[in-house]
A and B are shown apart, each in its own frame.
Chain A
Amino acid sequence: MNKTDALIIGAGPTGLFCAHQLGLIGLNCEIVDNLDKIGGQCIELYPDKPIYDIPAIPECTGEELTNNLIKQIKPFNIKFHLNERVEEVKRVNNKWIIKTNKNKEFETPNIIIAGGVGSFEPRKFAPKECEKYENESLFYSIKNKSIFQDKTISIFGGSDSALDWAIELSNKSKVNLIHRRDEFTGAQLSVDKIKELEKLGKIKIFTKYQLNSVKGEQNIKSIEIKHDDESLEKLETDYVLGFFGLIMKLGPIVNWGLNLNKKTIQVNTENFETNQNGIFAIGDICTYPGKLKLILSGFHEGALAARGCFKYARPDEKLRFEFSTTSKAAQERLGVKK
């Protein structure tokens, strides 16, 4: 059982800065995130796109912002639990007991939900029968590429992931690459490479096609793809891979007894606590009159939520307001050398 003063759900900019604020006032925390990397939407949706409205930073990318936040919280040695999703939250003796999908357990007086719009999950194919083959002969990510050797693989998508896997798998498998339009969004170098592999007969490219249906028994035997002009084409295939990026799903959060408003959690604006004592919500996932879905709002919400955590984590102590510029305690926690 991991014990901590606060468990933050979500390693996006809001969760990271909240960890900093907790650290400054002397509380420890751990962070859980379903993605395999730190940064949330900033790193998943726009790592290389510019952001212009972070105070005092005229321009930075999602990746730069994330890296700077990681640097800022480094002194606090925060433990991250990536690739993990919080499934269950239970109240036991004034504490929250939290369980993840990997059966990791936490005990804490405070949970801070900084979950953006929920956890990222792969976007799936439209035809219903696809579900039946999922994780057997149809995949949205690849864990073991050896199963594809000497087989026929149909890859859908136009992103870097789709192109990279098409190139990689074409070494030892027959590859069909299917995309809904002629332009690919992947790097030009990869686009050139797949066109070269097409000329060599290693990859077959089908553009303006989408998946129409899947046929097979235990495993997939063939698929039917549909052109923009409605004509159909049948392809024999052993495996189907779909790379359509990720979508955000609220997931288990709906079961935690919180007051919800559509896909957001209602909070007060004094300390961003929800209707449950010791559960806070900050960033895109919280709602209150006037809420703006901006990173800077998430920072403010995190600063106040961190202070809200103090009374549950240190019930016998009083929190004194201090500036980082002059607070000895804060500077010690930051490891500032004088």
Chain B
Amino acid sequence: MPKITYIENSGNSQIIEVANGLSVMEGAVQNDIPGIDADCGGGMACATCHVYVKEKWLDRLPKKEEGEEDMLDMAYEPKRNSRLSCQIIVSDELDGLSVSIPSKQG
């Protein structure tokens, strides 16, 4: 299974095996990673699963849909490497992906 690294705002990091087909958000929620709220459950409607993606991974992820960028306008401290983790679907290509969790989700 692909390994995803979740880096909490405190600097604490965890490497989690996430099954192909699940989202990076689901990987976090199912493994009790703190800091990813995912209030709307993955509907691209709340921006509370916001993460920062390690630069080198930015271009290797599927492109953002328009709705995702609109929701990121609402996120807490969005940056150039911001993504909604519910929109990143895990696959073998993403093995080793590393995401940082913001200090809060809003």
Q: Which residues of A contact B (CB under 8 A)?
A: 41, 45-46, 117, 123-124, 126, 157-159, 179-181, 183, 185, 210, 228, 244-245, 247-248, 263, 284, 293
Contacts and interface: CB of A to CB of B under 8 A. Distances in A.
B39 A180 contact: no
The main secondary structure of chain A at its interface with chain B is: loop
Interface of B: 37, 39-41, 43, 45-46, 48, 69-70, 73-74, 76-78, 80, 105-106
B80 A248 contact: no
A180 B78 contact: yes
Contact of A245 (B43, B74, B105): B74
A245 B40 CA distance: 14
B37 to A, nearest CB: 7
**Which label, helix, strand, loop or mixed, suits the secondary structure of the B interface?**
loop
Contacts of A263: 37, 39
A158 B40 contact: no
A228 B43 CA distance: 28
B46 A248 contact: yes
Given A45-B45, A247-B46, A248-B46, A117 B69 contact: no
Contacts of A181: 69, 73
B70 A185 contact: yes
Q: Nearest 5 pairs between A and B by C-beta?
A: A247-B106, A117-B39, A45-B45, A293-B41, A245-B74
A180 B106 CA distance: 16
Contacts of A228: 80
A274 to B, nearest CB: 20
6 contacts: A41-B40, A45-B43, A123-B106, A180-B73, A185-B70, A228-B80
A284 B39 CA distance: 9
Contacts of B46: 45, 117, 247-248
A158 B73 contact: yes
A3 B70 CA distance: 43
Contacts of A117: 39-40, 46
A113 B83 CA distance: 32
